[in-house]
Chain A
Amino acid sequence: MKDYDIIVVGGGHAGIEAASASARQGFSTLMITQSLDAIGRLSCNPAIGGLAKGNLVREIDALGGEMGHLIDISQIQFRMLNKSRGPAVQAPRAQADKFTYSRNAKELMEHTKNLELFMDTVVDFLVEKGKVIGVVTERGWKISSRAVVLTTGTFMEGRIFIGEYDAPCGRLGEMAAQGLGKALREKGFDVGRMKTGTPARVAASSLDYDEMEIQPGDEEIVPFSFMTDEVTRPQRNCYITYTNEETHKIIRENMHRSPLYGGKIVGKGPRYCPSIEDKVVRFPDRERHQIFVEPEGINTEEMYLNGLSSSLPEEVQRKFMRTLPGLRHCEIMRPAYAVEYDYLNPQDLLPSLESKHLENLFIAGQTNGTSGYEEAAAQGLMAGLNAGLKLRGEAPLILSRTEAYIGVLIDDLVTKGTKEPYRMFTSRAEYRLSLRHDNADQRLTRKAYEKGACDKERLEKLEEKLKAMDCVKELVKSYKERGKNGLALLKEPEITMDYISSHVAKLNDYPRYIRNEVELDIKYSGYLKRQEIEVDRFLKNESILIPDDFDYDALEGLSAESREKLKNIRPHSVGQAQRISGVRVSDIALLMIGVKSARKAKESENGSPE
């Protein structure tokens, strides 16, 4: 008898989703984390969502996850980004009260049925016959389970850097999880180092607000969760300021004191979220860089300086920060720092996020080389869900690139791996026109329900929405002008739903988000049809499945490099094989023929007709 069905290691954003997905399926679940006070802590920026990330949050929610709900009850500013650039890519983003978020997360975990929390650090796994059967903790507990989900974030052998100072931490002031990285290396896992950084927090009362631009939130707040009807939260402003020549000069003069340039940090950092040192070096011609000043909460003094992450010594940080308008008198409360940590090569994972090395071990979050709360949560959810499905003896839920950003995220990770912290972008999703944030429930909730990942209530909510959308469509259709009905009219660029609503009063009985969604569906139907062609093309190769036991060594003519890669990744379809970088087109051709003849051979073995 095992102590638990599923153990989740880590209480970050991946851990929260993994643990609750496991518990929701009815499995007895234990979350072991280093500090109960740090559950759901927002390590870096005080915001959830953003471009592509906002879509991830809504997909997580559609699949029964917690993040959407948590941000709805913790936010202090809402904005819909890139409205002008098209409905398919606009995405919600909310500033969070960090402390509220974290407290809500902890309380949610505490009140989740089937879930227990325990404060300790996991230092090793219990392994039997190639399967993980439990964990060993720092304080010497051996706890057994049928499956383990690992979500160590920036903590596994973490080390932080501030100029010449460094310390074994996962976040400033929080101990790193030491021992596990070493144990995993010994077990043959492909462990690497990555780094990321965070800017300083300064005291709100030390800022000169009249020198900065105000950035208010939107009037209209769209909830992240499909289950939230209305968000009623106090709202706060953010501010914008800029660096200048003086700032850049100070940074340049002190560059040699950065651990990054001194070679102390070996891990690879993200290109798209560079430290201010990086920006100054890489874009010497830029006269200024934009900095967002964001409150970390409703009542806290701490203000986050988005865009100023740095690992320079504290006195240098203070000096360059005080050159920015609005920050001339700023007082640092927490310094900026960089963190370097162990990650595990995600190419060693199956698309279910189960390890190829160790059965029943699922891995999620920053441990897989990603960065960002939303990326972590998305993986955590899928890992927790698939661990449960595995225990039930069911096929894992694997989302396709065509149906969810989560599908893109996981496929990219397990197929291509990553050399720098992986962040979600809309451009990574080939079929993003249909991956809108507002239709995530239509894309995913039914699937989740069938797998037992969400409750009936969520499905009913979706059905209600679909019904309402149908009614709206009927009402739109009933409107006539110039011999055309409303559906045809809406396809014209000048005609909006508001215009039609002004003529069909009954439409106003339906909530705005429903009307918006119908409007987009109609306006985009032509483009979506076009995208369908591409999707079909894509799905053709996805549907040529490669048997699990396919023998690449027996496939003559494969180049040595491709053979190595294919054997390593073991793609489940020819489509996936094609996305492995460095595998040649001609090798894909060979593979197609090989797979087909293997299938034929099997068929004739079984005596079925051609």
Chain B
Amino acid sequence: MEAYTTDEPIYALATAFAPSALSVVRTSGDNCIQMISKIFSSKKRLLEAKSKTLVHGYLQTLDGERIDEVVLSVYRKGQGYTGEEAVEISAHGSLSGLKRIFRALEDVGFRKAKRGEFTFRAFMHGRMDLTQAEAVEEIISSKSELSQAKALDRLEGRLRNRLEEYREKLLYILSSLEVQLDYAEDEIPEEWIFPEEEVDEIITGLERLLSSYDASSLYRDGAKIVLAGSTNAGKSSLFNLLMKENRAIVSSIPGTTRDYIEAWSDIRGIPIRLYDTAGLRESADEVESEGIKRSERLIEEADLILYLVDPIERKLPKEKRENMIILYSKSDIEKGEGLSISSQSGEGIEELFDEIEAFLTKGGRKLDDIVIDSERQRVELASTLETLRTVRALRRDTSVDVYALYFQSALEGIGAITGEVTNEELLDTLFSKFCVGK
């Protein structure tokens, strides 16, 4: 790990680097207000601006050449996102404009932030706890609006509050045990009774949180959907329809889609990674058979396979898998039995979406509650749950010192999720995620 100075002035684009009406560039670090004033038209107003106020003006180069009309949000030390002195620049979103802003910032001494560095600073300055820091990480990398919304929830501490609830319940149980251990039988003669209901409640709650991991990984990583079926079954047409744009070549010559094509989209708010594979047939063509091998691998890894069947050819898959939906194409030409779709007219597409959504969210994989989404949280949660299940299963004549051991370790486990309990591993994980250090 390298020594990491937190106050060095840095900048980063907070919005996507894409043409848009408005872009926000964040800066943070000691002296950053003063530094920006060198490339700002209303120097005096900026230097005198109170914390959490807006200053309007023009960003310009060091030579005084105007770059863009901007609004600056000024944060004095201790007030902004990172807890450091900070300025947020709201600018017009042209790519060339943004590039010039970056250059100007670098000219006055800012450096480009490393990935997650803002969050790292916020954590370091005590502006957020671990679950919040992870939520930011999540927002940065999330692929759909719904999962961003969930991450935002966590940023507000909802996961922490929920865990805090369980922690308090455990603490209560543990303290009822500790009283027994800290005082003698003649002082406190009552026997301890295992609080089955309370423990079950916590177990159920934690189980739900744990299953939310699957859901949230679905929402974060997206579902892998592979289009399969014989050549000419109409996969590329469907692919295009799903992508709502022409990315794959559509052709009626067998084997045109040589390899597979991948694209991001979302269906009913669930992010999906859609793969169009080469037609599954034996081929003498070397390039193509390589492509076929790769498609086979893709199919193995898929969350869902949409197997397209030409209603005239009616070539069904050799083996029907559990995660496979059979779909008849070209319903405008001839209707197959079961789910049918026409990529030409769009007929049947809603039914297909229903099917896909139902499949992907079955077993509670729906984002409707607080979720966990880091692998670290999942591991801690799973082991805490395991501890509670074990203690729940202990014989009721087990002595209280043993019960206490389990409840204590469950309590620690929850502390580790929220980051109240720190250890090196946890920090190492965190830092590597935030790209701090070599």
Q: Show the binding face of A for B, using Cβ within 8 Å.
A: 50-52, 81-89, 93, 215, 240, 290, 292, 425-427, 430, 432-433, 493, 527, 530-531, 533-534, 537, 540-541, 544, 556-557, 559, 574, 578, 584-590, 592-594, 596-597
| B407 CB to nearest chain A CB (Å) | 12
Q: Is B423 engaged at the interface, CB distance under 8 Å to the other chain?
A: yes
Interchain CB contact under 8 A, B1 and A534: no
* A544–B425 CA distance with the chains assembled, in angstroms: 12
Residue of B nearest to A593 (CB): B1
Option from A240, A427, A527, A593 in Cβ contact (under 8 Å) with B178: A427
Interchain CB contact under 8 A, A544 and B424: yes
Interchain CB contact under 8 A, B420 and A585: yes
**Which of these binds chain A: B2-10, B293-301, B330-338, B347-355?**
B2-10
Given contacts A87-B399, A530-B405, A578-B422, 20 further A-B contacts (CB under 8 A): A51-B181, A51-B183, A85-B401, A86-B401, A89-B400, A215-B186, A240-B186, A290-B186, A426-B178, A493-B397, A556-B5, A556-B6, A557-B6, A557-B125, A559-B126, A586-B123, A586-B124, A592-B424, A592-B427, A597-B1
Interchain CB contact under 8 A, B401 and A585: no
* A216–B409 CA distance with the chains assembled, in angstroms: 38
Q: Which residues of A contact B129 (CB under 8 A)?
A: 585
Given contacts A556-B6, A585-B419, contact A81 B401 (CB under 8 A): no
Q: Which residues of A contact B399 (CB under 8 A)?
A: 84-88
Interchain CB contact under 8 A, A531 and B185: no
Residue of B nearest to A432 (CB): B401
* A296–B406 CA distance with the chains assembled, in angstroms: 41
Q: Is B402 engaged at the interface, CB distance under 8 Å to the other chain?
A: yes
| A302 CB to nearest chain B CB (Å) | 22
Interchain CB contact under 8 A, B424 and A51: no
Q: Is B320 engaged at the interface, CB distance under 8 Å to the other chain?
A: no
Interchain CB contact under 8 A, A52 and B6: no
Main SS class of interface, A: helix
Q: Encode B194-209 as 1/0 by CB contact (under 8 A) with A.
A: 0000000000000000
* A147–B408 CA distance with the chains assembled, in angstroms: 42
| A599 CB to nearest chain B CB (Å) | 10
Option from A292, A559, A589 in Cβ contact (under 8 Å) with B123: A589
Q: Is B193 engaged at the interface, CB distance under 8 Å to the other chain?
A: no
Residue of B nearest to A307 (CB): B187
| B173 CB to nearest chain A CB (Å) | 13
Q: Which residues of A contact B2 (CB under 8 A)?
A: 597
Interchain CB contact under 8 A, B409 and A530: yes
Option from A427, A527, A594 in Cβ contact (under 8 Å) with B402: A527
| B31 CB to nearest chain A CB (Å) | 14
Q: Is B286 engaged at the interface, CB distance under 8 Å to the other chain?
A: no
Q: Is B266 engaged at the interface, CB distance under 8 Å to the other chain?
A: no
Q: Which residues of B contact A84 (CB under 8 A)?
A: 185, 399
Given contacts A86-B402, A589-B123, contact A425 B182 (CB under 8 A): yes
| B126 CB to nearest chain A CB (Å) | 5
Given contacts A556-B6, A556-B7, A589-B124, contact A433 B401 (CB under 8 A): yes
Within 8 A of A (CB), among B210-257: none
Centre residue among A541, A589, A593, A594 by max chain B CB count within 10 A: A589
Interchain CB contact under 8 A, A51 and B184: yes
Given contacts A89-B181, A589-B422, A593-B4, contact A290 B187 (CB under 8 A): yes
Given contacts A534-B412, A592-B424, A593-B4, contact A85 B180 (CB under 8 A): yes
Interchain CB contact under 8 A, B181 and A427: yes
* A259–B257 CA distance with the chains assembled, in angstroms: 93
Centre residue among A86, A433, A578, A594 by max chain B CB count within 10 A: A86
Interchain CB contact under 8 A, B181 and A426: yes
Interchain CB contact under 8 A, B408 and A430: yes
* A83–B186 CA distance with the chains assembled, in angstroms: 12
Centre residue among B7, B130, B423 by max chain A CB count within 10 A: B423
Q: Is B268 engaged at the interface, CB distance under 8 Å to the other chain?
A: no
* A215–B7 CA distance with the chains assembled, in angstroms: 67
Given contacts A82-B184, A215-B186, A586-B123, contact A593 B401 (CB under 8 A): no
Interchain CB contact under 8 A, B184 and A557: no
Interchain CB contact under 8 A, B181 and A82: yes
* A590–B420 CA distance with the chains assembled, in angstroms: 15
Residue of B nearest to A585 (CB): B422
Q: Which residues of B contact A292 (CB under 8 A)?
A: 186
Residue of A nearest to B127 (CB): A586
Residue of B nearest to A93 (CB): B184
Q: Which residues of B contact A82 (CB under 8 A)?
A: 180-181, 184-185
Q: Is B395 engaged at the interface, CB distance under 8 Å to the other chain?
A: yes
Q: Which residues of B contact A588 (CB under 8 A)?
A: 422
Interchain CB contact under 8 A, A541 and B125: no
Residue of B nearest to A590 (CB): B124
| B84 CB to nearest chain A CB (Å) | 9
* A493–B422 CA distance with the chains assembled, in angstroms: 37
Option from A86, A93, A534, A584 in Cβ contact (under 8 Å) with B126: A584
Interchain CB contact under 8 A, A85 and B405: no
Residue of A nearest to B403 (CB): A86
A–B complex contacts, Cβ < 8 Å, 9 sampled: A85-B401, A86-B401, A290-B187, A540-B425, A557-B7, A559-B126, A586-B125, A593-B4, A593-B437
Given contacts A427-B178, A586-B125, A593-B4, contact A88 B401 (CB under 8 A): yes
Within 8 A of A (CB), among B395-438: 395, 397-402, 405-406, 408-409, 412, 419-420, 422-425, 427, 430-431, 437
Interchain CB contact under 8 A, B182 and A587: no
Q: Which residues of A contact B397 (CB under 8 A)?
A: 493
Interchain CB contact under 8 A, A89 and B401: yes
Q: Which residues of B contact A531 (CB under 8 A)?
A: 405
| B381 CB to nearest chain A CB (Å) | 16
| A48 CB to nearest chain B CB (Å) | 15
Q: Which residues of B contact A559 (CB under 8 A)?
A: 125-126
* A425–B125 CA distance with the chains assembled, in angstroms: 35
| A308 CB to nearest chain B CB (Å) | 14
Q: Which residues of B contact A493 (CB under 8 A)?
A: 395, 397-398
* A308–B30 CA distance with the chains assembled, in angstroms: 61
| A428 CB to nearest chain B CB (Å) | 9
Residue of B nearest to A575 (CB): B423
